[in-house]
Amino acid sequence: MRRVCCVAPIQSSRMTKRFHMYWLRESGCDLGTPLDADELDAVIRARVMELANGDDRTLDLYLPFLDGRESRRRTEALRAVTLVRDGDAIRSVPPTAVAKLRDRAALLLATHPAWSSVLDERHPEYFHTWQAVSLVVQNALRLWIPEIYFRDPARYEDRDAAFPLLVYAASRPCRGRPRTEFTYDVADEEVLPRALYQIGASLQSVLETVERGLYDCGRPALARRYAPRWHQDVLRAVQRKPRSLLDLLGDEAAVVNAFVGLGSGRKMQAVKPFARAASMALRSMYGEDLRPLALRLLEEATRTLETAACSAV
Average pLDDT, the chain: 92
Rounded Cα distance between 259 and 209, Å, is 31
How many domains would you assign to the chain? 2
Give the HSE-up count for residue 262: Cα atoms under 13 Å, Cβ half-sphere: 33
Residue ranges making up the domain that contains 65: 18-93
130 and 59 together in one domain: no
Rounded Cα distance between 133 and 131, Å, is 5
176 and 34 together in one domain: no
149 and 226 together in one domain: yes
Burial class (CB in 10 A: 0-12, 13-18, 19+), 208: middle
- H-helix segments, 150-270: 159-170, 191-195, 200-216, 220-225, 231-240, 243-265
143 and 246 together in one domain: yes
Which positions ≥6 away from 269 have C-beta within 8 Å?
Answer: 26, 68
76 and 151 together in one domain: no
pLDDT digits 0-9 by tens, 141-186: 999 999 999 999 999 999 999 999 999 999 999 999 998 899 999 9
Q: Is the pLDDT of residue 243 over 70?
A: yes
186 and 242 together in one domain: yes
How many residues can be counted in the chain? 313
74 and 127 together in one domain: no
Confidence of residue 310 (pLDDT cuts 50, 70, 90): confident
Last residue of a domain, one of 53, 78, 93: 93
* DSSP 3-state of 106: helix
158 and 289 together in one domain: yes
Give the HSE-up count for residue 183: Cα atoms under 13 Å, Cβ half-sphere: 23
Which positions ≥6 away from 265 have C-beta within 8 Å?
Answer: 273, 274
pLDDT at position 60: 97
Residue 44 lies in a domain: yes
Which positions ≥6 away from 274 have C-beta within 8 Å?
Answer: 105, 258, 259, 261, 262, 265
pLDDT digits 0-9 by tens, 253-265: 999 999 999 998 8
Confidence of residue 313 (pLDDT cuts 50, 70, 90): low
Residue 3 lies in a domain: no
Rounded Cα distance between 164 and 194, Å, is 16
Last residue of a domain, one of 60, 93, 126: 93
73 and 126 together in one domain: no
Residue 307 lies in a domain: yes
Residue 82 lies in a domain: yes
98 with 150: CB under 8 angstroms? Answer: no
pTM over 0.85: yes
52 and 184 together in one domain: no
Residue 110 lies in a domain: no
Q: How far is CA 174 from the centre of its chain?
A: 20
Burial class (CB in 10 A: 0-12, 13-18, 19+), 307: middle
283 and 205 together in one domain: yes
Work out the average pLDDT over 31-45: 95
Rounded Cα distance between 125 and 62, Å, is 35
Q: How large is the C-alpha radius of gyration of the chain?
A: 26
pLDDT digits 0-9 by tens, 186-233: 999 999 999 999 999 999 999 999 999 999 999 999 999 999 999 999
233-248: string of b/e by CB count within 10 Å (b at 16+)? ebbeebeeebebbbbb
